[in-house]
Amino acid sequence: MTRDPATLRTTPIHGDYRSDRAHLVEDFYLPALAASTRYDRAVGYFNASVLAVLGHGLDEFAHHGGYMRIVASPQLRTEDIDQLRAGYALRAVLEHAALRDLNEAAEDPQAAAGIGQLGRLVAHGRLDIKLAYILDRDRVGIYHEKIGVFHDTHDTVAFKGSANETLPGLVGNFESVEVFRSWLTPDRERAQRIARDFDDLWHDRTRFLRVFTFTDAARPLLDEYATRAAPHTAPRTTLPDGTLISLPRPHPDGTLAIPIGLTVRDYQKHAVEAWFAHGCRGILLRMATGTGKTVTALTGGAQLAKQIAHHDAGPLLTVVVAPYQHLVDQWATDIERFGVTPIRAYESVGAWHDRASALTDALALRAASGGVIVTTNATFSGDTFQTLLARHRGHLLMIADEVHNLGAQRLRDRLPHTAAYRLGLSATPERWFDDTGTAALQQYFGDIVFEMGIGDAIRAGALCRYTYTPVLVELDDEESELYGRVTEAIAKALATHGNADDADADSPLGMLLRKRANILGHARAKIPALRGQILRRLDHRHQLLYCAEGRHPLATDTHTTDEPTQLHRAMDLVGRELRMPTASYTAQTPRPQRLELLHRFASGDDLQVLASMRCLDEGVDIPAARTAYLLASSSNPRQFIQRRGRVLRRAPGKDHADIVDFVVIPPDDEGGLRRETERRMVARELTRVTEFARFSDNEATTLDTLRPLRTRFGLHDI
User: What's the rounded Cα separation, in Å, for the pair 718 and 307?
Assistant: 48
Confirm if 691 and 697 have CB atoms less than 8 A apart: no
Can you tell me whether residue 404 is helix, strand or coil? helix
Please check whether residue 569 lies inside any domain of the structure: yes
Least Cα distance to 130 among 196, 198, 69 occurs for 69
Mean pLDDT of 443-454: 82
Mean pLDDT of 488-502: 71
CA distances from 392 to 272, 410, 492 (A): 25, 22, 54
Same domain, 193 and 297: no
Same domain, 308 and 193: no
Length of the chain: 718
Beta pairing, strands 609-612 & 543-546:
parallel
Which tens digit of pLDDT belongs to each residue from 394-429?
Answer: 899 999 988 878 878 788 889 999 999 999 887 664
| Lowest mean per-residue pLDDT among 159-173, 340-354, 456-470, 556-570 | 159-173
Q: What's the mean pLDDT when you consider all of the chain? A: 79
Beta-ladder partners of 400: 321, 424
What is the CATH number for 580? Answer: 3.40.50.300
Please check whether residue 510 lies inside any domain of the structure: no
Beta-ladder partners of 470: 661
Query: Where on the phi/psi map is residue 672: left (φ > 0), alpha (ψ -120 to 50), or beta?
Result: left
Same domain, 546 and 403: no
Please check whether residue 568 lies inside any domain of the structure: yes
What is the CATH number for 169? Answer: 3.30.870.10
Amino acid identity at 100:
R
Taking the alpha carbons at both ends of the chain, their separation in whole angstroms is: 81
Which tens digit of pLDDT belongs to each residue from 627-638?
Answer: 999 997 555 555
Same domain, 205 and 271: no
Residue 277 lies in domain: 266-459
Mean pLDDT of 222-242: 48
Query: Where on the phi/psi map is residue 251: left (φ > 0), alpha (ψ -120 to 50), or beta?
Result: beta
Q: Which pLDDT score, from 0 to 100, does residue 46 have?
A: 54
pLDDT of residue 618 exceeding 60, the answer is: no
Same domain, 406 and 428: yes
pLDDT of residue 76 exceeding 50, the answer is: yes
Element (DSSP H or E) covering residue 42: strand 38-42
Which tens digit of pLDDT belongs to each residue from 519-547?
Answer: 888 999 999 999 999 999 999 999 999 99
Q: Which pLDDT score, from 0 to 100, does residue 236 have?
A: 33
Q: Which pLDDT score, from 0 to 100, does residue 617 have?
A: 53
pTM equals 0.57
CA angle (683, 545, 333) in 5-degree steps: 110
Please check whether residue 422 lies inside any domain of the structure: yes
Element (DSSP H or E) covering residue 251: none
* Residue 108 phi, psi (nearest 5): -90, 120
User: What's the rounded Cα separation, in Å, for the pair 428 and 425?
Assistant: 9
Q: Which pLDDT score, from 0 to 100, does residue 15 have?
A: 92
Can you tell me whether residue 399 is helix, strand or coil? strand
Least Cα distance to 17 among 30, 36, 34 occurs for 30
Which range scores top for mean pLDDT: 294-308, 417-431, 664-678? 294-308
Same domain, 220 and 300: no
Q: Which pLDDT score, from 0 to 100, does residue 538 have?
A: 93
Number of domain units in the chain: 3
